[in-house]
Structures are given as C-alpha cells and as structure tokens.
Amino acid sequence: MRFIGAEDQPYDRRRDRRRPLPIDWRRRARFATAGAGGLAVVGLGWLMVDGWYGRQLAAIGDSLYAASASAGLNVQDVLVEGRARTQREAILATLGLSRGTPILSFDPHAAKERLETLPWVHEATVERRLPDTVYLRLSEREPLALWQYEGKLAVIDRTGQVIAGAPAAAFATLPVVVGEDAPRTAEALLRVLDSEPELRVRVAAAIRVQGRRWNIRLHDGIDIRLPESNAAAAWAELARLQREHEVLQRDVVTIDLRLPDRLVVRTAPGAALTGKRPAGEDT
C-alpha cells in the first residue's frame, strides 16, 4: 500500500498555471466584487423608492387577474345569509364589487373587517366560492332597549353598544333604561324583569341609581326600588305580593324592596290603603 502526498504528485503544467493569484490581486478582486454588489443594491433600492418595482408587480398581478376573469373566475353573484336590517346597497358598497370583478382579486379578510363596521353587523363570515360567487353570513346585532341619556334616546344592543343610525322611533316598544352607565347592566336587569311576566308588562322604564342599583317606573307611575344585590329575589317577592294582596292596585307612590325583611310602601298624600294589608307592610 502506498501513501501518496502532494509532494509525490508528478509535475503538471496545467496545474501550475492555476496557482493562486498574488495577495494584492485577490484583494483587488474582492473590492471589485463588493463594489458591484453595492451598486446593485443601490440600484434596486432606487427602483423600490421610485415605485417602479411595485408598479411592475402590480401590473403583473393585474394581468394575471384579468386572465383568470377571462377564464371564468369572475364575480357573478353575492350570496348573503342572516341579513334582516342591513341594507343591500350598504353591503354592496362596502364590498366594492361589481359583476365581472376577478374573484381572485377579492380579499375576504379585508371585506370581513369592512362589513363589521356597518351599524347592524355584529360579525361577518366572508368566503370566495369559485368560480363566481362571494358568500356572506351575517350575525346582526339585536336591539335590547332604548337608552335615555342627556335628553336623547338611542337604541342599544345586548352588549350595551349604541346601534348607530337606528331610529329610536322605530323601536318605541323596547324598554327604556335611564342613566349614564345603564347600558352596561341593562341586559342583566331585563332578565330579572322578564322572570315575572305579569310585572314585566307594567314596566315603563328603569332608572340606574348611582351606578349601583335600579328603580323601576311602572306605567301607572309607581316607583319600585330594587336592592343593590339579589334584585331577582326582591322582584319575585313583589310578584308574590301582587298575586296574593294586589299591592299595585292600591294608591301607592313608592314600593321600597331594599330591605330584605320588610316591604316599605309610601302612599300619595291624603290617600288611604284599601284591601288586605300585606304582612310586614310599613306605610
């Protein structure tokens, strides 16, 4: 077995011609390469700043979209589910679509964000259904109550948000809540009121008191003062007293339910209570 090192290799003229360049020539070559690269970077940067590069990409994209539309991938239909109050024209204007638009150029994510800025739209699902349909599924906001604040009425939804542009007059049958922070807890209150339907139909408005509790104004002018905590139990007790003693048929002004062990009833000046007195009643 022979071990052949570099010194044992026969002389080769061609290999000799390929011997390394002197140190200074290699340094010059590196400088030249770096300079050429720097010029290329500067040139590319100028093209990008000038916008030429972006314009070329946009032109290529437009050409591809046009070709896809010619091949049948263009918008012919917009299919919408879940629309009750959102106007058709508002949807189309928000989408910015027209028949024949290349469907591949349509951005569902951007469309979703725009649709969810419409007053009645709570959530939107947007899909491209090739070859020619844009599909929308809308979840619209549900009117909960009329909010009265600083002399104005606004329609609010179940999250307490104002539904911009919703005319209060069109929702006059909704309950009215009053107070700066009333929308925040309105849904919880209305669940309590709805738990006793016979009392619920008597309610004209609910007034938020110092951000802690509610006063309920009935259509006949009686004020019901609910406690800060356990309002549902107090409301249920009032319903029981109404069924058994008809307390709301009496000439009363205020029924105070804030004390857990008694019912405080205040009558109009000079009025007398009639009928059976509820146990524990304080006039």
The per-residue pLDDT for range 238-254, each reduced to its tens digit, is: 999 999 999 999 889 99
- The per-residue pLDDT for 268 is 78
State pLDDT tens for residues 53-104: 445 444 454 556 556 555 668 899 999 999 999 999 999 999 999 888 899 8
The count of domains in the chain is: 3
Domain match, 150 and 222 both = yes
Is 192 within the bounds of a domain?
yes
User: CATH number, domain at 211?
Assistant: 3.40.50.11690
Domain match, 106 and 158 both = no
Which residues in the chain land under pLDDT 50?
Answer: 1-13, 15-18, 21, 23, 25, 28-29, 31-32, 34-42, 44, 47, 52-54, 56-59, 61, 272-283
Is 8 within the bounds of a domain?
no
- The per-residue pLDDT for 66 is 55
Is 182 within the bounds of a domain?
yes
Chain mean position to CA 115: 10
Integer Cα distance of 281 and 265 in angstroms = 7
Integer Cα distance of 186 and 160 in angstroms = 7
Domain match, 220 and 239 both = yes
Domain match, 188 and 254 both = yes
- The per-residue pLDDT for 250 is 86
Cβ–Cβ < 8 Å for 146, 176:
yes
- The per-residue pLDDT for 50 is 54
Structure tokens at 135: 């599909």
Read out DSSP for 197-238?
A: HHHHTTEEEEEEETTTEEEEEETTS-EEE--SS-HHHHHHHH
Domain match, 130 and 208 both = no
Domain match, 133 and 36 both = no
Is 258 within the bounds of a domain?
yes
Task: Note the pTM of the prediction, 2 decimals.
Answer: 0.69
What is the residue range of 34's domain?
13-50
Domain match, 209 and 273 both = yes
Cis peptide before 197 (omega within 30 of 0): no
Is 114 within the bounds of a domain?
yes
Domain match, 261 and 149 both = yes
Domain match, 147 and 278 both = yes
Read out DSSP for 103-153?
A: GGG--HHHHHHHHTTSTTEEEEEEEEETTTEEEEEEEEPPEEEEEEETTEE
Domain match, 110 and 148 both = no
Burial of 148 (0-12, 13-18, 19+ CB in 10 A): middle
